[in-house]
RNA sequence: GUGAGCGUAGCUCAGCUGGUAGAGCUCAGGAUUGUGACUCCUGCGGUCGAGGGUUCGAACCCCUUCGUUCACCCCA
């Protein structure tokens, strides 16, 4: 046997059994975006490598070891997008839609990170992202959080997720805090693990995020960013909390919430769950006021979040997902050569006459029994049977495959072909 | 990148201390000439992930390798 070519590790097929769930989620997300009047933007899945290095940060894990980077034929270094924000900002700047205006944008699609796959983490995964430009107030931060809370409500997941928020302050205030924290960590250097020692130089804030039990007490005692915020950030955060309180969204202030990407400032938030194994974050984001300028645009305030679709889908109950599978309204059986010829055209006519109807044609012939079995398996509500008898008197036999006692129609009946149209129309409503 | 568990039919899995490969589901046919679902019968389907070693003999033991799952790290 020849070697089978397999998919890339961590890049999964979405099979017919799962695609209805994806379509359902995607539809709900589109509706949600419409209800807040946000606009969709689409950008390529490949960008110049430098874009991600400059935006995400050179010393982050994503850039250091997780990017799919390769050389184009002309020697340019390209990278499969590991997240959406950088490319969204690039597209916004390049097309001049960020200058002196407000944009509320969303996008959905695959992202790529070369990590070891595990539950809720894949090399190709899907995100829905939202980015808002040109608004600097806490009201828009709150709007994004409300939007996500609304999604949990729509999907019945309110009990599964919890909101954590924090403020990272302005870059200036963070710089002050950073040196204070570094001093504290230096003083406790003997307690740091190997990872943290490495981060002491590159990104000391991330040490606060460590789950190492041996370091928890030292981290608890560390100076808190929240206590070193500048006035501007403090007001921003206080007002954000007030907005959330006013709509009854409960949250936990997690002063150790840092986020992995360099570009965040002020508000950061995460929706976390304990139902996804080791992957607790299903949605996360924050404000990134400096990024647009950093990538060459005019100084533009920005805030956004991203949602992991695989994680979202695995939070939903399997039963809930299966019910979104759409079975055909009708299944067409054709007995014998005459019927196959006539039925082929008839099925097309029915689709013309009732555009929303879903009709499965039992192709491939076979005995009556075989066709009935396939018809049953399709889960269709009614079977349309066409054979010599029906052709001779210009009718179609209609059999109600799912009828239970007490239903209007339980017995099969012979209808004229014209009578099928109102019947099928009724099924689509 | 590191660690652990698991790879047997299309799918879900049995297979004892090493002794010639099994079930259920699916699919096809039949019991029932044009009536499905429930039942019964029959059939199709495997280089036991791959390569090497030990042995008279390996799905089983050893080594290597690949895949996969979960976890660490990190993240959506």
What ipTM was reported for this prediction? 0.89
Q: Using the structure, give the distance in angstroms from the CA atom of A15 to the C1' atom of B4, rounded to a whole number.
A: 29
pLDDT at A319: 65
Mapping DSSP onto H, E and C, the string for chain A reads: CCCCCCCCCCCCCCCCCCHHHHHHHHHHHHHHHHHCCCEECCCCCEEEHHHHHHHHCCCCHHHHHHCEEEECCCCCEEEECCCCHHHHHHHHHHCCCCCCCCEEEEEEEEEECCCCCECCECCEEEEEEEEEECCCCHHHHHHHHHHHHHHHHHHCCCCCCEEEEEECCCHHHHHHHHHHHHHHHHHCHHHCCHHHHHHHHHCHHHHHHCCCHHHHHHHHHCCCHHHHCCHHHHHHHHHHHHHHHHCCCCCEECCCCCCCCCCCEEEEEEEECCCCCCCCEEEEEEECCCHHHHCCCCCCCEEEEEEEHHHHHHHCCHHHHHCCCCCCCEEEEECHHHHHHHHHHHHHHHHHHCCCCCEEECCCCCCHHHHHHHHHHCCCCEEEEECHHHHHCCEEEEEECCCCCCCCCCCCEEEEHHHHHHHHHHHCC
Whether A316 and A336 map to the same domain: the answer is no
Nucleotide nearest to A389 (CA to C1'): B34
Which two structure tokens, joined as six digits, stand for A249?
């969204």
pLDDT at A419: 95
Say what the alpha-carbon torsion angle A374, A375, A380, A382 is, to the nearest 10 degrees. Answer: 180
Whether A153 and A57 map to the same domain: the answer is yes
* Confidence tier at A217 by pLDDT (50, 70, 90): confident
Whether A364 and A417 map to the same domain: the answer is yes
Give burial (CB, 10 Å; 0-12/13-18/19+) of A33: buried
Whether A47 and A124 map to the same domain: the answer is yes
Q: What is the mean pLDDT of residues A330-343?
A: 92
d(CA A420, CA A397): 10
Place of tokens 């099979």: A15
> Mapping DSSP to helix (H, G, I), strand (E, B) and coil, where does residue A333 land?
strand
Asked whether residue A202 is assigned to any structural domain, the reply reads no
* Confidence tier at A201 by pLDDT (50, 70, 90): confident
Instruction: Say if residue A311's pLDDT is above 50.
Output: yes
* Confidence tier at A259 by pLDDT (50, 70, 90): confident
d(CA A149, CA A111): 23
The two most distant CA atoms of chain A are separated, in Å, by: 96
pLDDT at A211: 75
Asked whether residue A31 is assigned to any structural domain, the reply reads yes
Whether A154 and A31 map to the same domain: the answer is yes
Least confident of A11-25, A57-71, A196-210, A245-259: A196-210
Whether A251 and A340 map to the same domain: the answer is no
Asked whether residue A186 is assigned to any structural domain, the reply reads no
Q: Which residues contact A423 (CB under 8 A, 6 or more apart)?
A: A382, A398, A415
Strand B at less than 7 A from CB of A40: no
In the listed set A287, A320, A353, which residue is the last one of a domain according to the structure? Answer: A320
Q: Using the structure, give the distance in angstroms from the CA atom of A184 to the C1' atom of B60, rounded to a whole number.
A: 58
Residue numbers of the domain that contains A356: 330-427
Asked whether residue A344 is assigned to any structural domain, the reply reads yes
How crowded is the C-beta side of A294, counted as CA atoms within 13 Å? 20
> Which bin fits A157, alpha (ψ -120 to 50), beta or left (φ > 0)?
alpha
Distance set, CA A281 to CA A28, A111, A250 (Å) = 20, 16, 17
Whether A255 and A395 map to the same domain: the answer is no
pLDDT at A405: 73
Whether A160 and A302 map to the same domain: the answer is yes
A47 and A270 in contact (C-beta within 8 Å)?
A: no
* Domains in chain A, number: 2
> Within window 58-87 on A, which residues have Cβ closer than 7 Å to strand B?
60-62, 66, 83
Q: Which CATH number characterizes residue A297's domain?
A: 3.30.930.10
Q: What is the mean pLDDT of residues A132-152?
A: 97
Q: Which CATH number characterizes residue A413's domain?
A: 3.40.50.800
* Confidence tier at A5 by pLDDT (50, 70, 90): confident
Q: What is the mean pLDDT of residues A205-210?
A: 82
Q: What is the mean pLDDT of residues A63-82?
A: 93
Nucleic acid strand B: bases within 7 A of protein CB: 1-3, 27-30, 32-37, 47, 67-76
Q: Name the most confidently modeled range: A75-89, A180-194, A323-337.
A: A75-89
For A383, the enclosing helix (H) or strand (E) is strand A382-386
Whether A242 and A381 map to the same domain: the answer is no
* Confidence tier at A17 by pLDDT (50, 70, 90): confident
pLDDT at A194: 77
String of b and e for A239-258 (b: at least 16 CB within 10 Å)? Answer: ebbebbeeeebebeebebbb
Strand B at less than 7 A from CB of A374: yes
Instruction: Say if residue A225's pLDDT is above 80.
Output: yes
pLDDT at A3: 64
Strand B at less than 7 A from CB of A338: no
The full DSSP string for A257-283 is: ---SSTT-EEEEEEEE-SSSTT--EEE
Q: What is the mean pLDDT of residues A128-153?
A: 97
Whether A43 and A118 map to the same domain: the answer is yes
Strand B at less than 7 A from CB of A366: yes
- Cα R_g (chain A), whole angstroms: 28
Asked whether residue A74 is assigned to any structural domain, the reply reads yes
In the listed set A264, A296, A320, which residue is the last one of a domain according to the structure? Answer: A320
Strand B at less than 7 A from CB of A205: no
Instruction: Say if residue A1's pLDDT is above 50.
Output: no
Asked whether residue A14 is assigned to any structural domain, the reply reads no
Whether A299 and A377 map to the same domain: the answer is no
d(CA A202, CA A59): 7
Q: Using the structure, give the distance in angstroms from the CA atom of A6 to the C1' atom of B18, rounded to a whole number.
A: 34
* Confidence tier at A403 by pLDDT (50, 70, 90): confident
Whether A158 and A295 map to the same domain: the answer is yes
Which two structure tokens, joined as six digits, stand for A74?
């002309």
Asked whether residue A242 is assigned to any structural domain, the reply reads yes
Asked whether residue A213 is assigned to any structural domain, the reply reads no
A19-36 pLDDT, tens digit per residue, is 888 999 999 999 999 999
Instruction: Say if residue A2's pLDDT is above 60.
Output: no
Q: What is the mean pLDDT of residues A358-365?
A: 90
In the listed set A320, A346, A378, which residue is the last one of a domain according to the structure? Answer: A320
SS3 content of chain A, % helix, strand, coil (to 5): 45, 20, 35
């Amino acid at each position: 046997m020849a070697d089978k070519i397999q998919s890339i590790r961590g890049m999964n097929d979405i099979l017919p059994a799962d695609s209805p769930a994806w379509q359902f989620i995607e539809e709900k997300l589109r509706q949600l975006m419409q209800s807040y009047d946000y606009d969709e933007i689409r950008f390529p899945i490949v960008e110049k490598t430098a874009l991600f290095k400059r935006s995400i940060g050179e010393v982050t894990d994503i850039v250091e070891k997780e990017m799919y980077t390769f050389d184009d034929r002309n020697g340019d270094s390209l990278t499969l997008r590991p997240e959406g924000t950088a490319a969204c900002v690039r597209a916004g700047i390049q097309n001049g839609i960020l200058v002196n205006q407000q944009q509320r944008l969303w996008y959905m699609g695959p992202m790529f990170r070369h990590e070891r796959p595990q539950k809720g983490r894949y090399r190709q995964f899907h995100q829905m992202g939202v980015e808002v430009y040109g608004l600097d107030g806490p009201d828009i931060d709150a709007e994004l959080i409300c939007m996500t809370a609304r999604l949990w409500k729509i999907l019945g997941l309110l009990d599964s997720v919890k909101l954590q928020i924090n403020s990272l302050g302005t870059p200036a205030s963070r710089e002050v805090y950073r040196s204070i924290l570094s001093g504290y960590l230096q003083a406790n250097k003997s307690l740091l693990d190997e990872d943290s020692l490495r981060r002491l130089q590159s990104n000391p804030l991330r040490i606060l995020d460590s789950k190492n039990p041996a370091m928890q007490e030292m981290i608890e005692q560390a100076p808190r960013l929240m206590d070193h915020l500048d006035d501007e950030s403090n007001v921003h955060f206080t007002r954000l909390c007030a907005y959330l309180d006013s709509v009854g969204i409960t949250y936990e202030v997690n002063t150790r919430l840092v986020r992995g990407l360099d570009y965040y400032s002020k508000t950061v938030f995460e929706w976390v769950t304990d139902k996804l194994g080791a992957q607790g974050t299903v949605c996360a984001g924050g404000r990134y006021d400096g990024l647009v300028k950093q990538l060459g645009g005019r100084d533009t305030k920005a805030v956004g979040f991203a949602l992991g679709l695989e994680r979202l889908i695995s939070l939903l109950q399997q039963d809930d997902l299966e019910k979104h599978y759409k079975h055909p309204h009708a299944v067409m059986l054709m007995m014998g050569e005459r019927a196959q010829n006539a039925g082929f055209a008839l099925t097309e006519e029915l689709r013309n006459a009732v555009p929303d109807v879903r009709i499965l044609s039992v192709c491939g012939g076979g005995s009556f029994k075989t066709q009935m079995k396939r018809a049953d398996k399709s889960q269709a509500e009614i079977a349309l049977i066409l054979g010599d008898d029906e052709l001779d008197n210009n009718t179609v036999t209609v059999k109600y495959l799912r009828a239970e006692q007490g239903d209007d129609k339980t017995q099969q009946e012979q209808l004229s072909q014209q009578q099928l149209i109102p019947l099928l129309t009724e099924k689509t409503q």
